[in-house]
Amino acid sequence: MAEQKRKLSTRLIRKGALIEETYAAFQHWDLSISLRKNLKKLQEENPIGASNEKWLHEVLTTLSSRFKDASSITPLVLMAKGELPLHQWKPCLLWHLGSIDALYYRFAIDWLFPQYKEGAYILKTEDALPFVRKITDGKIASGGKLSAYGALRAARDLFRMAGDFELLEGKVKKKFANYHIPQEAFLYVLRGLMDMGLTTSKAVDSKDWRLFLMDSDDVERELLRLHQYKVLQYDVAGSMAQLKLSSPSLEAYAKEISR
């Protein structure tokens, strides 16, 4: 989830999260061949059930833009092929998108999450426009700026993405949904953070949890709950914390929770 790996592009949010389409594509993914060959295979076979060639092209173009590194999506592919229920798989996808899409990541952790913590009730697209301008001016289209319509569309797309992941609900006026990350996805993100070499304390404090409207206190409460039920081992002594998970790696965990 390193910052330098994220790409600031409106293309990544334009078609929405494409959750069901990505899940279907990964169910038919072949880990033994390259990303390019997989995309060609999807183009020929259309296992996602796209209604026409144009929409199939749009989906595959977005997948190509999002997932440049085929190896990074192996856990997602394993869980999709293992038929992990979509509601458990979806937050895992969100975490991966957060490592790729700088625009949505910044929106989620620096704008949406603070709104949530401040108790905002109704959210309108226009509310996010100053933030969209702030993070895109001089960084989009070879150093240019989004047009007035482009900024509005980007804000709408960001809201739609949050809605796709069930963080927001409503049509024109949005409000925060009653969201709680599934246990399987929580453990997936936790294992992923630990695989990055983070200490237990840094994993608990990671801003990535804001993608799910969680802060470090929320994470610690969930850890203590899972420790109580012997799902994991979480020991705290003063400022020191130690965590032991059931799987040694993210890929191993993906296999563990798949059918």
Burial class (CB in 10 A: 0-12, 13-18, 19+), 87: exposed
Give the chain's domain count: 3
For residue 242, the number of C-alpha atoms closer than 13 Å in the C-beta half-sphere is 3
CB 253 within 8 A of CB 92: no
Place of tokens 């060639």: 53
Tell me: do 50 and 40 sit in the same domain. Answer: yes
pLDDT tens per residue across span 91-144: 999 999 999 999 999 999 999 999 999 999 999 999 999 999 999 998 886 778
Mean model confidence pLDDT for the chain: 94
Q: Which two tokens stand for residue 39?
A: 């995309």
Tell me: do 80 and 12 sit in the same domain. Answer: yes
* pLDDT value, residue 91: 98
Tell me: do 128 and 146 sit in the same domain. Answer: yes
Tell me: do 231 and 187 sit in the same domain. Answer: yes
Residues paired with residue 181 on neighbouring β-strands, in sequence order: none
Last residue of a domain, one of 54, 76, 100: 100
Tell me: do 7 and 95 sit in the same domain. Answer: yes
Q: Report d(CA 82, CA 114) in Å as an integer.
A: 36
Tell me: do 90 and 117 sit in the same domain. Answer: no
Task: Count other C-beta atoms under 10 Å from residue 99's C-beta.
Answer: 19
Tell me: do 93 and 120 sit in the same domain. Answer: no
pLDDT tens per residue across span 7-35: 998 989 999 999 999 999 999 999 999 99
Residue range of the domain that includes 111: 102-176
Least confident of 64-73, 75-84, 90-99, 184-193: 64-73
Q: What share of the chain is helix, strand, coil (3-state, %, to 5)?
A: 60, 10, 30
pLDDT tens per residue across span 27-65: 999 999 999 999 999 999 999 999 999 999 999 999 999
Tell me: do 115 and 81 sit in the same domain. Answer: no
Query: CA 136 → CA 7, 151, 247, distances in Å?
Result: 12, 9, 39
Q: Report d(CA 5, CA 15) in Å as an integer.
A: 21
Nearest to 49 by CA among 76, 22, 21, 27: 21
Q: Is the dihedral of CA 92, 93, 96, 101 positive or negative?
A: negative
Tell me: do 79 and 18 sit in the same domain. Answer: yes
If DSSP codes are grouped into helix, strand and coil, which group holds residue 169?
Answer: strand
Residues paired with residue 140 on neighbouring β-strands, in sequence order: 144
